[in-house]
Structure formats: C-alpha cells, structure tokens
Amino acid sequence: MKICVISDLHFKYTSPNADDIENSRIVLEFLDQARGKYDLLVLNGDIFDLWYDWKYCIIKQFFPLLVKLYELSRSGCRIVQISGNHDFWFGDFLPEYLKVELVDEAFCLESDGKKIHICHGDTHTVNDFRYKLFRRVIRLPLTKLIFGFLHPDIALGVGSKMSRSSRARKDTAGTRKRKNQGLEGYARALIVHGKADYVVMGHSHEPLLKEIDGGFYVNSGDWVSHHSYVEIISGTIKLKQYNDNGDTE
C-alpha cells in the first residue's frame, strides 16, 4: 500500500502575504503530482487555517485546494482528514462532496505488517493547560452553534484573529520544547507497548524522523516553511521534502 501523510498546510483565507501565496502554489502543485501515486492520503490536521461548514456556504478561498482534493478523490485515492487544532468544525461538505473520511482523534491502520498510528498531536503536548481548556470550550456544540449564527465575514474575521494569536503564542522556546517532548513521549509509549510500529504526528511544524525501540516516530513537519511529508510505501516509512525540482529525503 502507498500512503502519504501531510499536515499543517495552514491554507489561508484572509489577506495572504507573498509567502502564503507561494506556499499555496507549492501545495497545489504537490497534490497535482500526487494523483495516481498513492492509495491513501492522510490530511493530518491544520490543513485549513480554519474550517466551518455553514448550511449553505463554504469558504471560497479554499476552492483551489478543494478542487485538488476532489480530483485526487475522483482518481481513486482514499482521503482521510484528521482534525487539527485549527480545523475541527467539519460538517457534511468534505464527506459528501469530496468523499473525504473524517477522523476526530487518531487514525489507526495496519499496512504491510506495520501498525500505523496517525494523529495531529495537539492533545499530547506537556503541561499546556491553557490550550487544553481552550480546546474543550471551542469544541463544545454550543460554541460551534454560536459561531454558525455569525455572518461568515464576521465569523471568519474573529477566526483569523484567533488563529493569528495562537500562532504568535507558539513561538516561545519553552512551548516548543514542551510540545516536542509531549509528542515524542506519546509516540514512545505507543511503540514501547507494542501498540504501534509507526507513529506519525504533525503540529510541531518541525519535521523529524526518530527511531524508537525498533519503531519510528515521524513528524510530518509543515507546508509553511518545510514542505515536508511522510511516505509509507510497502511498509517502509520515509520523511521527505517537496520542491519544484523533485523530492529530497
């Protein structure tokens, strides 16, 4: 089986700068060349900088990305979207129109004799109490309902501010360290207890491949500055980087 895992595209819907535009171009090009290459594409969270499924509308700025996912799905590639800390308010759009399967926490599968555990990772950071409380509140059905009552232009303005402040908060060295320790500790526990051979996460925006007790913890990095992704082909896991001239490992 040929599997590809990407995460943390943070595809923008408000005032993209030149870097955002270039990143989007690269993502779309990557998805173009991925057609026919994989049996399964896992979108491991924070693909969209924010997602909301209103009853009658979707966010038009995502149209180019949604078209690529539609084409991939139509070509026979199974697509699974795992919730991230930016995209979790999914409704019926992705499953119904793009045939994307939604997974809220972790997606586990066995392929070519390897037990694979894939999750975004935001719930596995250490001592991030403030975020964990925020996560509970933002995911309450009532919060989702209230957000849905707002006019999209207002709702997305609020969402964009929240998204920006969450990114600014991530930048301290202490937070980064806690994040990485938590993710690695979680992967280690799964591997050591025989629950997984490969644990794939994102969230940290730092690509990493680490051998642990005969298994691997791999972080798929991001598409903001690394354009990195994970490939599992016939049971062999690789961390790769995409660029216009071809892949590097």
Query: Measured from the CB atom, is 46 or 184 closer to Mn ion?
Result: 46
CB 73 within 8 A of CB 36: no
Distance CA 231, CA 236 (A): 8
Nearer to Mn ion, 138 or 233 (CB): 138
**Interacting stretch for Mn ion, rule CB under 5 A, among 30-38, 49-57, 79-87, 160-168?**
79-87
Q: Is 203 in the site for Mn ion (CB under 5 A)?
A: yes
Give the CB-nearest residue to Mn ion: 203
- State the nearest-atom distance from the C-beta of 168 to Mn ion, in Å: 14
184 binds Mn ion (CB under 5 A): no
Nearest to 44 by CA among 236, 232, 247: 232
Q: Give the strand order in the sheet containing 40-44.
A: 100-103, 78-82, 40-44, 2-6, 228-233, 236-243, 246-248
Shortest Å, Cβ 35 to Mn ion: 26
Among residues 46, 49, 184, 231, the one that binds Mn ion under rule CB under 5 A: 46
Shortest distance in whole angstroms from residue 153 CB to Mn ion:
25
First CA to last CA across the chain, in angstroms? 19
The total number of residues shown for the chain amounts to: 249
Choose between 85 and 228: whose C-beta lies nearer to Mn ion.
85
Structure tokens at 30: 């990557």
Please give the backbone phi and psi of residue 235, each rounded to the nearest 5 degrees, phi first. 85, 0
219 binds Mn ion per the rule CB under 5 A: no
85 is a contact residue toward Mn ion (CB under 5 A): yes
- Asked whether the beta carbons of 227 and 242 are under 8 A apart, the reply is yes
114 or 203: CB nearest Mn ion: 203
Candidates 10-18, 39-47, 62-70, 108-116; binding stretch for Mn ion (CB under 5 A): 39-47
**Residue 23 near Mn ion by CB under 5 A:** no
Gap between the Cα atoms of 77 and 70, Å rounded: 10
The binding site for Mn ion (CB under 5 A) comprises 46, 84-85, 203
